[in-house]
């Protein structure tokens, strides 16, 4: 299955602008398009919280509720983690999942974004499969359960797929399913998705990847290994995305194919359709 779409075109930079300025203008256009697509007023606003997760440790979380939500998505951004400064109810990170928050809301999904623990400035690969991190995720899930009775789906992108996969294995029976995008597949990285205990999973799994992803640790040709590892998951799907762009900057960054730049609405739509097709039993 292919998802095709056009690049966002709200801003068309003039010839002669630097690549960095073109990237900044393009990102501003993409973020503006995402927020313009969301429902208006309080529905599109959220708030950051510090959730007690371990003795003397809190973990930041962004939360935005959708009226009558059918499900909650707990998003795990890539890189070092976090969702940026929240201003006007909007998280500032340009990570694909974070800048797409309003698109999830517009599809009737509560949105939570997992941040960082107070005892670590960033989340590396090894951190994301370690016991403290998984405990933090479990406590954040407890907090979400207190906020909404809607089923929770774990959604990760890039390095966040390491966290989402590890948590799905740990918290089986407490989450409705798993959605992975731009997955880390290189065995050179601790916690790469195909190296985890995927056979332990039973809940539905959707894997979304860009066919032109040029990030070395997320090679498209290695992504089918995830599906092969999900030997006990009856309902699983791999979606290879085409289109979007034009890509800018770091091949592992938010403005490249890896970050689905220009394809946010189509990719989130695919994720939301999958979630809608798997209501609670």
Top-confidence residue, 198 or 245: 198
Tell me the pLDDT of the chain averaged across its residues. 88
Q: What is the pLDDT of residue 245?
A: 84
DSSP state letters, 51-117: EEEETTEEEEEEEE--TT-SEEEEEE-STT-----EETTEE---SHHHHTHHHHHHTTEEEEEEEEE
pLDDT at res. 44 = 57
Instruction: Check pLDDT > 60 for residue 31.
Output: no
Strands 86-87 vs 177-181: parallel, antiparallel or unpaired: unpaired
- Confidence class for position 280, pLDDT limits 50, 70, 90: confident
b vs e for 104-139, b when ≥16 Cβ sit within 10 Å of the residue's Cβ? Answer: bbbbbbbbbbbbbbbebeebebebbbbeebbbbbeb
pLDDT of residue 220: 98
Mean pLDDT of the 7-23 span: 34
pLDDT of residue 11: 25
Give per-residue pLDDT as tens, 65-90. Answer: 999 999 999 999 999 999 999 999 99
pTM beyond 0.85, yes or no: yes
**pLDDT score for 24:** 43
Nearest Cα to Cα of residue 160 among 198, 113, 205:
113
pLDDT of residue 29: 47
Residue 148 has pLDDT above 50, yes or no: yes
Give the domain ranges of the chain: 23-276
The answer to whether the beta carbons of residues 177 and 191 sit under 8 Å apart is no
Distance CA 108, CA 125 (A): 32
Q: pLDDT digit string (tens) for 37-70?
A: 444 433 458 999 999 999 999 999 999 999 999 9
**Triad 161, 96, 255: Cα angle to 5°:** 115
Is 178 exposed, middle or buried, given 0-12, 13-18 or 19+ CB atoms closer than 10 A? buried
The average pLDDT across 215-222 equals 98
The CATH fold assigned to 23-276 is Rossmann fold (3.40.50)
């Amino acid at each position: 299955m292919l998802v095709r779409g056009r690049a966002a075109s709200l801003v068309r930079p003039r010839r002669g602008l630097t690549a960095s300025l073109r990237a900044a203008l393009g990102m501003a256009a993409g973020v503006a398009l995402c927020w313009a697509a969301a429902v208006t007023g309080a529905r599109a606003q959220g708030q950051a919280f510090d959730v007690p997760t371990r003795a003397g440790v809190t973990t930041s979380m962004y939360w935005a509720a959708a009226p009558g939500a059918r499900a909650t998505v707990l998003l795990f951004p890539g890189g070092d983690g976090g969702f940026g400064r929240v201003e006007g109810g909007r998280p500032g990170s340009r990570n694909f999942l974070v800048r797409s928050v309003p698109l999830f809301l517009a599809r009737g999904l509560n949105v939570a974004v997992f941040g960082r623990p107070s005892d670590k400035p960033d989340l590396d690969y090894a951190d994301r499969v370690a016991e403290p991190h998984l405990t933090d995720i479990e406590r954040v899930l407890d907090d979400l359960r207190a906020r909404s009775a809607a089923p929770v789906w774990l959604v990760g992108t890039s390095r966040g797929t390491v966290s989402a996969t590890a948590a799905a294995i740990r918290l089986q029976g407490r989450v409705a399913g798993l959605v992975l995008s731009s997955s880390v597949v290189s065995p050179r990285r601790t916690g790469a998705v195909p190296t985890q205990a995927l056979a332990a999973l039973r809940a539905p799994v959707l894997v979304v990847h860009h066919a032109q992803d040029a990030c070395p640790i997320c090679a498209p040709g290695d992504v089918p290994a995830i599906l092969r590892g999900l030997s006990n998951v009856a309902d699983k799907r791999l979606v290879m995305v085409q289109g979007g762009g034009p890509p800018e900057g770091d091949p592992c960054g938010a403005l490249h194919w890896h970050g689905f730049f220009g394809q946010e609405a189509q990719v989130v739509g695919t994720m939301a359709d999958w979630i809608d097709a798997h209501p609670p039993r």
